[in-house]
Amino acid sequence: MKILTVIGARPQFVKAATVSRALAQQRISEVLVHTGQHFDHNMSAVFFEEMEIPHPHYNLDIHGGGHGLMTGRMLEKLEGVMMAEKPDWVLVYGDTNSTLAGALAAAKLHIPVAHVEAGLRSFEMKMPEEINRILTDRVSSVLFCPTTTAVQNLENEGFKNFDSEIVLSGDVMYDAVQYYRTRVPARSAIIARLGLGSFALATLHRAENTNDPQRLRAICEALNEIHRNTPVVLPLHPRTKAYLREHQIPLHATVIDPVGYFDMLALLENCALVLTDSGGLQKEAYFFQKFCITLRDQTEWTELVEAGANALAGADKNRILELYAHGRKTAVAATADLYGRGDAGTRIARHFGS
């Protein structure tokens, strides 16, 4: 059994750390291919170092350019790697251009595709991630779903009538938090280094916000106002930094470079609440029982909204500030088994070994 795994972006490194470890425990051969989509050290190499992810067998060094250019270059390179390696399966994660390119390259070579984090839907087709995840699901042979909501989404779309298998695996990011959080005190000094007391943790990188100066300005105005009373710690994506500079949008916050996994876990452990347009950080906030204000109009993690742990603010300054006042007083309780029991990686690996 040989599995070729395609990764390329920060959240995929976290997910791969869990599944790659489980595959090794099952003695399943894995060929790891890094597309290069995220190439900055703080968004790529540091994760391999910290999380002890196997060094990629291939690094395609593809980044920059529009969606079509990037995905096309990935397709070309991945096809060559797959033809040379002849894997039994191609494993992809999430909803990035790397995900779609890996799935399409494999499907056209008649190699079965396994999609981890299948079935997620924001129901917003303007999001490139939504297009990527829908198309990836459709060409996948095995769909590993993190939640019952994801399973229901696939069933609603008729996937029971397709030549594919739906598996409720649980969420591999929950596995990662459970596995790594006990190591945080020994691996991160970011709280002491920044001299943090009470603070809000924010991230901002989605194209729907950064490509729209009006949305970006409104969000920054809300963050600026919050920062007057409670420090806002913002690990800033390089692309967001460039947009802020280009549109001359002031941002008053404790702005830091993107951080590694252990520093992010330390920030989550110690923050008062989270403001983000990230998909993964919405879940991680919940894992640490922190209220999350989502700076988007929709979320694929609808169960968090239903549980009262997450609220959608979009780019509405007043709504963000209202939710911030609410979130400071809101205790988030973990709902049993909402994202599995911390054994999703093992379940996925065993599925290939069965």
Q: Which of 34, 38, 205, 227 is catalytic?
A: 205
Place of tokens 């690990």: 235
Does the active-site annotation cover 205?
A: yes
SS3 54: coil
- Distance between CA atoms of 106 and 122, rounded to whole angstroms? 25
Instruction: Report residue 180 CA to chain centroid gap.
Output: 17
Unique residue bearing structure tokens 């033809």: 83
- Encoded amino acid at 111, one letter: I
Residue 225: its H or E element: helix 213-229
Q: Which residue has the tokens 């993690």?
A: 301
Quick one: 156 exposed, middle or buried, by C-beta within 10 A (0-12, 13-18, 19+)?
exposed
Tell me whether residue 112 is exposed, middle or buried, using C-beta atoms within 10 angstroms of its C-beta: 0 to 12, 13 to 18, 19 or more.
middle
DSSP symbol at 340: B
Contact call for residues 178 and 351 (beta carbons, < 8 A): no
Residue pair 311/305 in contact by the 8 Å Cβ criterion: yes
Backbone angles phi, psi at 77, to 5 degrees: -70, -40
CA atoms within a 13 Å half-sphere pointing along the CA-CB vector of 264: 28
Side chain identity, residue 244? L
Asked if residue 123 lies in contact with residue 300, where contact means CB atoms within 8 angstroms, the answer is: no
Q: What SS3 class is residue 13?
A: helix
**Contact call for residues 108 and 131 (beta carbons, < 8 A):** no
Active site residues: 205
